[in-house]
Chains A and B, each alone.
Chain A
Amino acid sequence: MSSPLTARIVEEYESAARSLPAADAHERHAAIEALRVSGLPTSRDENWKYANLRSLERQRFVPAATAAPLAGAGLPARLAGFPRYGFVDGVFATGSSAPLDASGARITPGTSGNAHRSFSADERFALLNQAFATGGVTLQVPAAGSEPARLELVFLASADSKAGACYPRVDIRLDPGASLTLIERHLSAGEQASFVASAVTIDLQPGARLEHYRLQELNPRSILFDTVSAELARESAYRLHCISTGAQAARSTLAVRLNGERAELNLAVAALGGGQQVQDAYALVEHHAPHARTEQTFRGIAAGRARVAFNGKIVVAKGARGTDSRQSLRGLLAGPEAEIDVRPQLEIYTDDVRCSHGATAGKLDDNMLFYLLSRGLTPESAQRLLKWAFLEDVVAQIALPALRRQIEERLADHLGDDTLRELL
């Protein structure tokens, strides 16, 4: 399948290939070949109908030439104990980062640390990233016995999409028993309409633990396509928290494979959309081994004319007996023209599993609203308070108090109410 879009991507790749770093040329070439064959997803693809794919038509795919340095101003406050590593338009900014050995994790400029496997059809944007990314890093946490590592990655998008695209890229590997708490932020440096196609690959070895916070706060003109691909070995645990409030259109594809017995995934996603924003997430979780667990929580609020979608698919492969999965997916419609799409999907190929799911989309509860009005709150503040409360199931899972506070402040800003800050 070769659409005009795919043809143009290949063409742009070929014209730029010589100026891309030669070190990983092999992986790049493999990725663009795979993309040439498969093309990017279209809105006819079941799991892509809510993403804003039309925005791709006007993008340039060659990597932006980065100019802006990572400015200290405007960045969120540093969190104590978390060395910060900065990236501008996807390129590691050594000069504005903590020393490479500051965190307990081994950070190496360059990618392809986890390029040992291919991406599935829904991870095709990772191929785009693999073909073009130039400034990613590999993050490795050595085996147990060492201190749990903590660090923060800040990806700043500064380039206008006319000048090229941003390709944040991180390959993470946790050795057996290793532990990492990772904060990953996506921010805009200014008002430019950036195009960001980011990819994170994760390899958790037996018994490894990753606590991963992803905060998407791009400016409201930017477009994001984002892929997280994770492999979980025996008894490893992955806790992924996604808070998505930014961008004009954001699509996150989260593909997690539980390959080892008793692996655990906890996925908590909050997405807020207003204006004409699109917040679309697709989580594909595959259980390939016995007695693994998945817990998914999604809370999305769509106001204005926004569309907020979450599609959570859980596949229980043959032999994955004793699988325990729970999905709680809830969307809140906060405007007559807003759209919420929440969809749990289960594909089970084995007996002896426990899979529960609940999905709701609706408006604020009239009884709750009246209760608050009867206590003297205005309709506006009552609604904001209930939206805030609606997000609590996700926010309460943030285990770092200082980070939680930053996130709550962001959410309070987004809901437009200073008095909510009293809740902090």
Chain B
Amino acid sequence: MAAMLSIDNLHVSVGGKEILKGLTLAVQAGEVHAIMGPNGSGKSTLAHVLAGRPGYQISAGTVRYQGRDLLALPPEERAREGVFLGFQYPVEIPGVNNVYLLKAALNAQRKQRGLPEVDAFEFLGLVREKMKLMHIEDSFLSRGVNEGFSGGEKKRNEILQMVILEPRLAILDETDSGLDIDALKLVAAGVNTQRSPERSCVLVTHYQRLLEYVVPDFVHVLVRGRIAKSGDRGLALELERRGYDWVTGEAA
């Protein structure tokens, strides 16, 4: 069976500057991988390239998702095929209702799988159930997407979307940044409900704090556009103790 995600020798530039310089990574179904690294190492670039954000030049390498060429798919196809990006900076869209977006997103995915549109009543039940899980207030239902949300609310909303869409591959880009401990635990709980043998998750994070609550199967350290070190959860703890200099020095 093909890997969930298989990245091979990926080179990516932004505005002529190479950010990812031969990144290789394989994620199997059921696995949670944490990608750590200092600022500017290319973590967010990786997350964006996987989701299909425009503005990145891919000069070499391949990315396969369940055996398919992921880079050949437009962003909306990737989403429909089960790739989900949790944004580091979720976008505010005043005037577009949260529930409408959730429903449109879920129906887009169902259409791809040949399923009928979700029943409006059942859908609302599902949303309310998941909102409870994420401690999101009822007023959310009538508000615009992320409109006037605090940083923590925006991140919880990303996770809410994820648990409703149930992606096969979730890529969470610094979802833990700027969260207090209570919000962090909620986000972690949301992520943990998604763990299953069919689903994979890539956590992009700067700190190991989140990994206390979502225990990863693998930890990778990204340095200057390449994976400099891989290991298990112990690697994250060691990083916490010794700092990134320990790895960046080694990689230099």
A368-B91, A389-B95, A389-B144 given; A375·B53 CB < 8 A: no
| Complex Cα–Cα for A249 and B53 (A) | 39
Query: Which of B74, B97, B105 makes the CB contact (< 8 A) with A375?
Result: B105
Is there an interface contact between A378 and B91, defined as CB atoms closer than 8 Å?
Answer: no
Contact A370 B54 (CB under 8 A): yes
Tell me if B198 is interfacial: C-beta within 8 Å of chain A. no
CB neighbors of A among B88-131 (8 A):
90-91, 93-97, 100-101, 103-105, 108-109, 112
Q: What chain B residues lie within 8 Å of A367 (beta carbons)?
A: 91
Instruction: Say if the beta carbon of A374 comes within 8 Å of chain B.
Output: yes
Interface pair B95/A376, CB less than 8 Å apart: no
Cβ of A73 < 8 Å from any Cβ of B? Answer: no
Question: Nearest B residue to A379 by beta-carbon distance?
Answer: B76
Segment of B79-87, B217-225, B237-245 engaged in the interface with chain A: B79-87
Which of A6-14, A199-207, A380-388 forms part of the interface with chain B?
A: A380-388
Q: How far is the CB of A377 from chain B (nearest CB, A)?
A: 6
Complex Cα–Cα for A391 and B91 (A): 18
What is the interface size of chain A, counting residues whose CB is below 8 A from a CB of the partner?
Answer: 27
For A378, list chain B residues within 8 Å (CB): 76, 108
* B52 proximal to A (CB < 8 A): yes
Q: Is the CB of A376 within 8 A of B105?
A: yes
Residue of B nearest to A378 (CB): B76
Considering only CB atoms, which chain B residue lies closest to A381 in the complex? B104
C-alpha gap A39/B112 in the complex (Å)? 62
Task: Please report the C-alpha to C-alpha distance between residue A323 and residue B136 in the assembled complex, in whole angstroms.
Answer: 42
Given contacts A376-B108, A376-B109, A422-B103, contact A371 B95 (CB under 8 A): no
Contacts of B95 in A (CB 8 A): 388-393
B87 touches A389 (CB 8 A): no
Q: Which residue of A lies closest to B101 (CB)?
A: A375
A374 touches B93 (CB 8 A): no
Q: How many residues on the B side are at the interface (Cβ–Cβ under 8 A)? A: 32
A346 is an interface residue with CB less than 8 A from chain B: no
A25 within 8 A of B: no
* CA of A366 to CA of B214, assembled, Å: 32
B108 touches A422 (CB 8 A): no
| Complex partner residue of B94 from A366, A371, A373, A392, CB under 8 angstroms | A392
What's the nearest-Cβ distance from chain B to residue A398, in Å? 14
Task: Kindly identify which residue among A370, A388, A392 contacts B75, using a CB–CB cutoff of 8 Å.
Answer: A370
A419 interface residue (CB < 8 Å to B) = yes
Inter-chain CA distance A389–B144, complex, in Å, is: 9
A385 and B103 contact, Cβ closer than 8 Å, known pairs A373-B75, A375-B108, A377-B76:
no
In the bound complex, what is the Cα–Cα distance between A393 and B147 (angstroms)? 14
Is A423 among interface residues, defined by CB-CB distance under 8 A?
Answer: yes
Q: Please tell me if the beta carbons of B94 and A389 are within 8 angstroms of each other in the complex.
A: yes
B105:A371 contact, CB within 8 angstroms: no
- CA separation between A262 and B241, bound complex, in Å? 66
Judge whether A34 is part of the interface by a CB distance below 8 angstroms: no
CA distance A374 to B54 in the complex (A): 11
CA distance A385 to B105 in the complex (A): 13
Q: Is the CB of B144 within 8 A of A375?
A: no
Main secondary structure of the interface of A (DSSP, over half): helix
In the complex the two chains form, what is the Cα distance from A119 to B251 in whole Å? 79
User: With a CB–CB cut-off of 8 A, which chain A residues contact B204?
Assistant: none
Instruction: Note all chain A residues with C-beta closer than 8 A to B103.
Output: 422
Q: How far apart are the CA atoms of A390 and B94 in the complex, in Å?
A: 8
Contact residues in A for B87 (Cβ distance below 8 Å): 371, 374
Q: Indicate if B20 sits at the interface (CB-CB under 8 A).
A: no
- Could you tell me the distance in whole angstroms from the C-beta of A88 to the nearest C-beta in chain B? 37
B161 at the binding interface (Cβ < 8 Å): yes
User: Across the interface, do A423 and B80 meet the contact criterion of CB distance under 8 Å?
Assistant: no
Tell me if A386 and B79 are in contact (CB < 8 A): no
Does B184 belong to the interface (CB within 8 Å)? no
Q: Specify which chain B residues have a CB less than 8 angstroms from the CB of A370 in the assembled complex.
A: 53-54, 75, 91
**Any B CB within 8 A of the CB of A403:** no
- Whether B74 contacts A373 by the Cβ 8 Å rule is yes
A376 to B102 CA separation, bound complex (whole angstroms)? 10
B51 within 8 A of A: yes
Does A315 interact with chain B (Cβ within 8 Å)? Answer: no
Give chain B nearest CB distance to A416 CB in angstroms: 16
Whether A389 pairs with B93 at a CB distance below 8 angstroms is yes
Q: Does A407 contact B (CB under 8 A)?
A: no
Chain A residues near B100: list those with CB within 8 A.
385, 422-423
Interface centre among B97, B104, B112, B161 (most CB of A within 10 A): B104
Interface residues of A in 305-353 (CB under 8 A from B): none
Q: Mark A380-424, 1 if CB is under 8 A from B, else 0.
A: 011001101111110000000000000000000000000100110
Give the residues in chain B near A381, CB-CB below 8 Å: 104
Q: Does residue A53 face the partner (Cβ distance < 8 Å to B)? A: no
Across the interface, do A373 and B91 meet the contact criterion of CB distance under 8 Å? no
Identify the closest chain A residue to B144 (Cβ).
A389
Report the bound CA distance from A191 to B162 in whole Å: 50
A388 to B93, CA, bound (A): 11
Q: CA separation between A150 and B212, bound complex, in Å?
A: 64
What residues on A are CB-neighbors of B91 within 8 Å? Answer: 365, 367-368, 370-371
Question: What is the CA–CA distance of A389 and B145 in the complex, to the nearest angstrom?
Answer: 11
Asked if A372 lies at the interface with its beta carbon under 8 angstroms from chain B, I say yes
**B54, A377: Cβ atoms closer than 8 Å:** no
Q: Which of B48-85 contact A (CB under 8 A)?
A: 51-54, 74-76, 78-80, 84-85
Q: How many Å lie between the Cα of A379 and that of B108 in the bound state?
A: 12
**B104 and A373: CB pair below 8 A?**
no
Q: In angstroms, how far is the closest chain B Cβ from the Cβ of A420?
A: 9
Closest Cβ neighbor of B51 among chain A residues: A374
Once A379-B76, A385-B96, A386-B96 are accepted as A-B contacts, the answer to whether A373 and B52 lie under 8 Å apart by CB is: yes
18 new A-B contacts at CB < 8 Å, known A373-B75, A374-B87? A368-B93, A370-B53, A370-B75, A372-B96, A373-B74, A374-B53, A374-B84, A375-B101, A375-B105, A376-B79, A376-B80, A376-B108, A377-B76, A377-B108, A378-B108, A389-B144, A390-B95, A393-B95
- Could you write out 10 A-B pairs with CB less than 8 Å apart? A365-B91, A366-B54, A370-B54, A370-B91, A371-B145, A373-B76, A374-B53, A377-B105, A388-B96, A419-B104
Q: Please name the 6 residue pairs, one residue from A and one from B, whose CB atoms are nearest each other, closest first.
A: A389-B95, A392-B95, A376-B108, A376-B79, A375-B105, A371-B91
